[in-house]
Amino acid sequence: MTRLDDLLSATRDLPAPLAVVDEPALAANADDLVRRAGGVPIRVASKSVRVRGVVAETLARPGFAGVMSYSLAESLWLVEHGIDDVLLAYPTVDAAALRRLAADDRHRRAITLMVDGLPALDAIDRVLGPRHPDLQVCLDVDASYKIGPVHLGVRRSPVHSVRQARRAAEAIVRRPGFDLVGVMFYDAQIAGLPDTSPAVRLVKSRSAAELADRRARVVDAVRGVADLRLVNAGGTGSLEVTGDDPCVTELTAGSGLFTPTLFDSYDAFAARPAAYFALDVVRRPARDVATCFSGGYIASGPTGDARRPTPVHPPGLDLIGTEGAGEVQTPVRGRAARNLAPGDRVLFRHAKAGEMCERFDAVHLVDADGTVRSLPTYRGEGKNFG
């Protein structure tokens, strides 16, 4: 039997669809992230996990420190459950959450907001008024690689150059009610781009060199006007590159814990899948086709095959191009389908990490000896943060 057979056997009495986590693979992935970080602390990116128990257990491991959250309401909830260092990755205009933050000393000590200039501060002041308590903020600096009119990376902050960063920092420092404590650089064009060709490798290498130089100059400029406590950078796909930068005080990773299919083709590390979902076969419409119940778990991002779930066990299956992964049924085709019958199960991998957990109330962690324990997802705890 293979390890995937073991996962199916251990969870056979649980109703499907269900999410399965290979616990030894999860632990090995955490260790590998720490190895690749080279001694730089790693924040856990909660959006790529969305299981509070897994986040907490990862934080208890050496090499991890703090959470990078994706919602202010989520950040408050995590602090209420004992996490005392949360960096919110995106600007917020959540009025109710901002009022809760301003009203609580513990929340304000634990949570750092993300801003990308004066409009973000204006939005907060419109909710809280100009005389609110000091809020810790981090300046989001665009880490994209720009070649003339070509923009390689995600569209995040309008702050890109050293001059823009210095001006933004000066404006934040002058503004009552805000304490600039950090800067962040997310290199999506490096961390989130698989090494699929020599051209991609060349662009990533040049982008990394440009960013290292610009990041050092930005940090120096901002330190000239603010007492920075954190310089956050990197992601699962760029830890060893970004961690070598002496001006970076912390890294961020989350997807590398579960290792979805989008992280299968990187030169720096070998993918070790840890998260799966299982669907029941419910009918056989053709000799080489088996139809599974549910499964339409398409990942966010640019549409295309890279965002679809992938059947991985039994091996030799694929989705049908004219149907794909469906809302209530997902047909799979291949020689292996000939041996499937209603009641059998098929294991799939999701294209992204935490998004899978929005579909399930729990993840079922299977240890090396087949022991199963279940942890609620955010959804299973009744939370939906967007």
Residues 177, 78, single domain; the answer is yes
Specify whether 114 is located in the same domain as 244. Answer: yes
Residues 74, 175 within the same domain: yes
- Rounded Cα–Cα distance for residues 58 and 65 (Å): 9
- Does 261 map to a domain? no
Length of the chain: 386
Q: In the chain, what percentage of residues exceed pLDDT 70?
A: 99
Model confidence band, residue 229 (pLDDT cutoffs 50, 70, 90): very high
Residue 18 lies in a domain: no
3-class SS of residue 365: strand
Mean pLDDT of 89-114: 97
How many structural domains are present in the chain? 2
Q: Which pLDDT score is estimated for 10?
A: 98
pLDDT digit string, tens, across residues 161-175: 999 999 999 999 999
| Residues facing residue 155 across a β-bridge | none
Residue 12 pLDDT greater than 90, yes or no: yes
Residue 148 scores a pLDDT above 80: no
pLDDT category, 1, cuts 50, 70, 90? confident
Do 155 and 63 lie in a common domain? yes
Give the burial class of 96: count Cβ atoms within 10 A of its Cβ; 0-12 exposed, 13-18 middle, 19 or more buried: exposed
How many Cβ atoms from other residues are within 10 Å of residue 287's Cβ?
A: 8
SS3 84: coil
**Helix 118-128 vs helix 95-102: crossing angle, to nearest 10:** 80
Q: Give the CATH number for residue 168.
A: 3.20.20.10
Q: Which domain holds residue 334?
A: 275-379
Residue 262 forms part of a structural domain:
no
User: What are 289-331's pLDDT values in tens digits?
Assistant: 999 999 999 989 887 888 999 999 999 999 999 999 999 999 9
Is residue 360, in this structure, part of any structural domain at all? yes
Q: Where are the beta strands (DSSP E) in the chain?
A: 18-22, 42-45, 64-69, 86-88, 111-115, 135-141, 145-147, 150-152, 178-185, 230-233, 250-253, 275-286, 289-293, 310-313, 318-319, 329-333, 345-349, 362-366, 372-376
At 202 the pLDDT is 83
Establish if 215 belongs to a structural domain: yes
State the pLDDT confidence band at 219, using cuts at 50, 70 and 90. Answer: very high
pLDDT at residue 157, rounded to an integer: 87
The pTM assigned to this predicted structure is 0.93
CA 22 to the chain's CA centroid: 18
374: pLDDT strictly greater than 90:
yes
* Residue 251 is assigned to a structural domain of this protein: yes
**E-assigned strand segments in 55-126:** 64-69, 86-88, 111-115
Lowest mean pLDDT among 88-97, 101-110, 214-223, 234-243: 234-243
pLDDT of residue 187: 86
Q: How far apart are CA 33 and CA 253, in angstroms?
A: 8
Same domain, 86 and 200: yes
Cis peptide before 314 (omega within 30 of 0): yes
Is the CB of residue 148 less than 8 Å from the CB of residue 171?
Answer: no
| 3-class state of residue 61 by DSSP | coil
For residue 306, the domain's CATH number is 2.40.37.20
Looking at the domain assignment, is residue 121 inside a domain?
A: yes
Alpha-carbon distance of 10 to 368, in angstroms, equals: 10
Angle at 309 between CA 275 and CA 384, to 5 degrees: 65
Say if 13 falls within a structural domain: no
> Has residue 184 got a pLDDT over 80?
yes
Residues 121, 236, single domain; the answer is yes
Please report the pLDDT score of residue 192 as a whole number: 74
